[in-house]
Amino acid sequence: MKAPSKLFFLNQYFRKPSGIGAVAASGRKLAQLMVGHLGLEPHDVVVELGPGTGAFTRQLLKQGVPPDKLILLEFNVDFAKFLREQFPQVRVVEGDAGELPKVLQMLGQAKVRRLVSGIPLRSLKPQQRKRITEAIGASLERGGVAVQFSYFKTSPFPRDVALGSGMTGRCVGMALANVPPAFVWKYTKSV
């Protein structure tokens, strides 16, 4: 990540640490690991939740996702503005991940096959985690994949909520060099 991105992220962290979840943005190795587990195909529309300063966005574009096939959903107004400046050809929507099905409908998109999330779910209240997990489950096509990281080894999605939303997940890797180290979870929608 470029120095201005790092400074911008740190500034946002100090303004509202509970909404950011870490003192440093996701690193390149975590981004590679996350995107590598999506199983991208050329026609896929990809949703990124909580893109922050765009670490995963950069990796998605580097892996060949066309800008018009990428939808970024960011809650923080300052991050959304930053993302629009950094990625002018990508659709950046300011909004709540818990409203993902409505956001997709607004964009004329039904469900998606690929989703990557940088939302610090474990730092959210249980009801918020539940709502976001349900929204992800409702937005994925059958056979779709969601990749989420956590700073804890346990599932970032509440297990019962994920199962109730038709998703099963497992830890598929760790990014030890990330600050802090992160575990990568892959969820597949079965129904």
**Model pLDDT for residues 61-108, shown as the tens digit of each residue:** 999 999 999 999 999 999 999 999 999 999 999 999 999 999 999 999
CATH class of the domain whose range is 3-189: alpha beta
Q: Identify the pLDDT of residue 8.
A: 43
**Model pLDDT for residues 13-66, shown as the tens digit of each residue:** 445 555 544 444 457 899 999 999 999 998 999 999 999 999 999 999 999 999
Pairing of strands 112-117, 140-150: parallel
Task: Report, as an integer, the average pLDDT of 170-180.
Answer: 91
